[in-house]
Structure 1
Amino acid sequence: MTAPAPGFADTGGLLRALARTQRTALVLTLVALSAAAAALLRLHALGGPARAGHGACATPPAHGLPSCAAVEAITADEIYANGLAVLASLLTWSMIPVAAWAGGALVGRELEDGTARLAWTQSVTPVRWLAVKLAAPAALLTAGTGGLVLLNVRARGDGDPDLTGDWYHPEVFVSTGPVAVAQVLAGLGLGALAALVWRRALPAAGAAAGVSLLLHALLERHREDLWPTVTRGTVGSLELPRSAFQVSWYEQTPHGVPFSRATFHPESHFRPLQYVETGVLLAVAATATAAAFLLLARRLP
């Protein structure tokens, strides 16, 4: 029987060591993903009654829902809308804890306590060590976040803005497209880079979280500039549809004749805006990861 190549054996050992040292984070991540998936499946089931205005109840009481004979104020649309809002927030802000974890526990702690250098002396190259450290979490985060985004889109149904929020609302926008996946990958790369810069867990975690928060704020502030807007003007008053993402509004009355003009993104711009922002975030992830590898190579004796 042919023995496995040393590279594959080393990689398998690194994966087992990663699973062992990050067992708590792995378990918490799987629990969080499972809980969020279960909640979205439940919200999907509530979607029909919510849009129909039915009460969130059961006869007899079951699955945490009160008796239909006793409930009056609690309605399906409240549970549905609030549940979607909470899960959208979790998906939107997941970049921050991922970056802090990558900088502090995943890479930073092993550099600080010398565990990484010990691994490098046991036939594991520093490049392979860092590659495995990042590739395994990246695969899990991509699959988990992508799956939740798909479930979120399905749970939202036809996207009634009165229940699910307008498509351009920051948290709705992030949580319903590939931007959510690109965010966590950017957080992972930034966390690794911070760990290589500071080589201490706590400062790296704080710096990675801070930079991720700044990146999130910049993209939210300039999201409207990522794709050309549409301009519409008319004599008299102008009324945009509810689905329009308004960027600017201009009104004047030359020679006593009122004139209105607006620039906005129609709902058809959702996908272009998503793709451009995803590209920006993936570029950040790739740049941060490449910089981490270069810094690792420069700091080796």
Structure 2
Amino acid sequence: MSTLTVKGTVKGLPWTVLRLHRTALIAWGAGVLAAAAALVWMYAIGDDARFGVGGCSMPPEAGLPSCDEVHAQTTDDIYRSGIGLVTTAVTYLMFPVAAWAGGALIGRELENGTARLAWTQSVTPVRWLAAKLAVPAALLTTGTTVAVLLNVWARQDDNPNLVGDWYDADVFISTGPAAVAYVLAALALGALAGLVTRKALPAAGVAFAATLVLYIVLTQYRPSLWPADTVTGPTALNLPRDVAALEHGAVTTTGERIGNNFACVGSDSAVDVRDCMERSGLTDFWATYHPRSHFWPLHLVETGIVLALAALATATAFWLLRRRTA
């Protein structure tokens, strides 16, 4: 280990980081290549997959294929499964990154004394931590960005029957910059956990738990990160498929909005609806929702929050390291 450290002082800390963690680097590269290959394949079979979920008739009619031909198609299932697998992998990448950063990147080297050995060979603690974070941050940013761009490309027209709705948690994160932000936050939280615990296994557990809390909290409050739209009237009962419905209800004669009020919704006709509303003291229906156009505002706000937390965790890690090595 000391020989490796000496080489690092000659060739540079980035090279040392790559050598020490070459197994993780190989696994990361293989994962990115596998995801890229899968998404290229999904793009190639996308047209056949959309054909498989389209309308059909028996016997065939103009513009509609034979139902027997459609039912014989299995490409849509392959496409749906492939896109779903990559989407899940990109979304939850933050968790193994956090555990690795806490346990292997920082915690293990503090626990076995490798870090202090490096500090005695013309490498300051601050420079050591900077290299430890900069190298994986660059690789994680590049790889995750490639995976996100390929994921968006492979989804083509974003048919929700094949790739899920844009507001689904996995889909939302894996199709925008928030995926990169979460990975960087996981790296920073892992480094901070490693410096706090100074032991590999506890650091991995703490980093994983901290990242999980971050993910759960922001997923819970995501709809509140941008003002939602409100609609009243019959449209509130028949929102488009591509909107994220948040809340709906009825308006009373006093103007009060009652959430989740389904009175009169099951009436058979417009006349029945009006009669029911008069008997129930209701004047209208309302709903709040996020249209598809809110994807980028929501994404950018969440990305900003996560990056701010990543910067805070990084700054805290450097502060803690300076305090302990002063």
Please, what TM-score do these two structures have when normalized by structure 2?
0.81
Q: Tell me, yes or no, if the aligned pair for 2:236 and 2:248 is still in contact at 8 Å.
A: no
CA distance in 2, matches of 1:140, 1:46: 30
Aligned residues with identical type, % of pairs: 55
Q: Does 1:288 align with 2:287?
A: no
Q: Tell me, yes or no, if the aligned pair for 2:236 and 2:287 is still in contact at 8 Å.
A: no
Deviation at 1:12, TM superposition (A): 3.8
CA distance in 2, matches of 1:99, 1:213: 10
Alignment partner, residue 207 of structure 2: 208
Alignment partner, residue 232 of structure 2: 233
CA distance in 1, matches of 2:236, 2:325: 67
Q: In 2 relative to 1, CA 103–268 (structure 1 residues): closer, same or farther, beyond 3 Å?
A: same
Alignment partner, residue 278 of structure 1: 303
Deviation at 1:238, TM superposition (A): 2.4
Deviations 1:35-55 (A, max 9, x none): 01100111010111111229x
Deviation at 1:163, TM superposition (A): 0.7
Q: In 2 relative to 1, CA 295–93 (structure 1 residues): closer, same or farther, beyond 3 Å?
A: same
Please, what TM-score do these two structures have when normalized by structure 1?
0.88
Q: In 2 relative to 1, CA 235–19 (structure 1 residues): closer, same or farther, beyond 3 Å?
A: closer
Deviations 1:109-148 (A, max 9, x none): 1011100000000000111100000000000000000000
Letter in 2 for 1:271: W
Aligned residues, how many?
277
Structure number with greater Rg is 2
Deviation at 1:175, TM superposition (A): 0.5
Alignment partner, residue 42 of structure 1: 41
Letter in 1 for 2:149: L
Alignment partner, residue 5 of structure 2: none
Secondary structure of 2:19 counterpart: helix
**RMSD between superposed Cα atoms in Å:** 1.8
Alignment partner, residue 123 of structure 2: 124
Deviation at 1:16, TM superposition (A): 2.2
Q: In 2 relative to 1, CA 233–138 (structure 1 residues): closer, same or farther, beyond 3 Å?
A: same
Q: Tell me, yes or no, if the aligned pair for 1:107 and 1:192 is still in contact at 8 Å.
A: yes
Secondary structure of 1:107 counterpart: helix
Alignment partner, residue 223 of structure 1: 222
Q: Tell me, yes or no, if the aligned pair for 2:52 and 2:73 is still in contact at 8 Å.
A: no
Q: In 2 relative to 1, CA 276–12 (structure 1 residues): closer, same or farther, beyond 3 Å?
A: farther
CA distance in 2, matches of 1:259, 1:11: 75
Deviations 1:66-97 (A, max 9, x none): xxxxxx75611111011111111111111111
Q: Which runs of 4+ in 1 moved over 3 A?
A: 9-12, 252-258
